[in-house]
Amino acid sequence: MLLTVDVGNTHTVIGGYEGQELQFVWRMATNKKQTEDEIRATLSSMFFAQRLDHAHVTGVALASVVPQLSMAWKRAARSLFDAEAFVCNAENTKGLFKADYPNPHEIGQDRVADAIAAAHVYGAPCVVVDFGTATNIEVVNKQGLFVGGIIAPGVSTSAQALFQYAAKLAATELIDPGVAIGTCTETAIQSGIVYGEAGRVDALVKRIFAQLGYEAPVIATGGLAPVITPCSETITHTNAELTLEGLRLAFEWNRAAGRVQ
């Protein structure tokens, strides 16, 4: 079994693959102070609860945007699975991840995995919109080259800032309110945040198309993708596990080249 781990600022997503088939997905809050021992204990309890044998894990592929957790996850993988975690990045996926970008080492590990998976599954050109702590947009051109993207405040990040600084506005579930004109505080907030994010994404994607000179499939991923996608005019696909699939592809690419076992 290959364990794929996407460590985000807000959530950590873990997927288990048997060959090309995703067998399970676990989601948990990211604790930026979590230690190796705590990660190991959490994984052990999750395997036990699902009646899975962690001895079946033969590889670990990791993407992390939290530097202080990267080493803890690598050590936990080594001690629990006796596996050296493969950390996906632009340097160790050359040939699979091709970039026309001034400083490829600056590209986030999750962005690399997203671009790899999108190009593999949907072909080039393609655009990925990843709704996480930040809303990341990745662009792969007709030649299959990652040419850059956009990083903006995420949906939940913006909502939390609103609730924090507007004393009379209570936290509200982020769902499609069904109307643009809210008739109560709750639906007014939902309209502003959900439709506002869909409109922002559509405007940015249209600018991307104008710069490229052609349109492309737009794939949404991340926790709020199912909420925003139906409200968008430009998003064509939703793939909740796109990052995990990119990690699997990057791992298999390196294993075929003999760089990982």
CA nearest neighbour of 5 among 52, 56, 66 = 66
- Residue 144 sits at φ, ψ, to 5 deg, of 80, 20
Residue that wins the pLDDT comparison between 160 and 223? 223
CA nearest neighbour of 90 among 145, 45, 49 = 145
Statement: residue 95 has pLDDT above 80: yes
Most confident of 26-30, 150-154, 216-220: 216-220
pLDDT at 175: 82
pLDDT at 233: 97
pLDDT at 189: 85
Check whether the bond before 230 is cis (ω within 30° of 0): no
Q: How far apart are CA 36 and CA 74, in angstroms?
A: 8
Residue 50 amino acid letter: Q
| pTM (two decimals) | 0.92
pLDDT at 166: 67
Residue 101: burial class (beta carbons within 10 Å; 0-12, 13-18, 19+)? middle
Arithmetic mean of pLDDT, 49-57: 90
pLDDT at 201: 97
Strand-pair category, 237-238 with 134-140 = unpaired
pLDDT at 171: 66
| Secondary-structure breakdown of the chain: helix, strand, coil percentages, each rounded to the nearest 5 | 40, 25, 35
Least confident segment among 69-78, 99-108, 170-179? 170-179
Binned at pLDDT 50, 70 and 90, residue 259 comes out as confident
Question: Quick one: what percent of the chain has pLDDT higher than 70?
Answer: 97
Strand-pair category, 134-140 with 126-131 = antiparallel
Q: Where are the alpha helices (H) located in the chain, listed in sequence order?
A: 36-49, 67-81, 109-122, 155-165, 185-190, 196-212, 225-228, 242-256
CA nearest neighbour of 79 among 45, 48, 43, 110 = 43
pLDDT at 56: 92
Q: How far apart are CA 209 and CA 212, in angstroms?
A: 5
Least confident segment among 109-113, 133-137, 148-152, 188-192? 188-192
pLDDT at 165: 59
Residue that wins the pLDDT comparison between 165 and 107? 107
The set of catalytic residues is: 110
Binned at pLDDT 50, 70 and 90, residue 212 comes out as very high
Arithmetic mean of pLDDT, 130-142: 94
Binned at pLDDT 50, 70 and 90, residue 112 comes out as very high
Q: Residue 70: how many CB atoms within 10 A of its CB? A: 17
Q: How far apart are CA 235 and CA 212, in angstroms?
A: 17
Instruction: Answer for the pair 145, 118: CB distance below 8 angstroms, yes or no.
Output: no
CB contact set of 44 (below 8 Å; sequence gap of 6+): 54, 80
Q: How far apart are CA 77 and CA 206, in angstroms?
A: 42
Binned at pLDDT 50, 70 and 90, residue 78 comes out as very high
pLDDT at 174: 78
Q: What is the pLDDT of residues 141-181, one digit of tens each?
A: 999 999 999 999 988 777 777 767 565 566 677 788 899 99
Mean pLDDT computed over every residue of the chain: 92
CA nearest neighbour of 203 among 249, 240, 230, 235 = 235
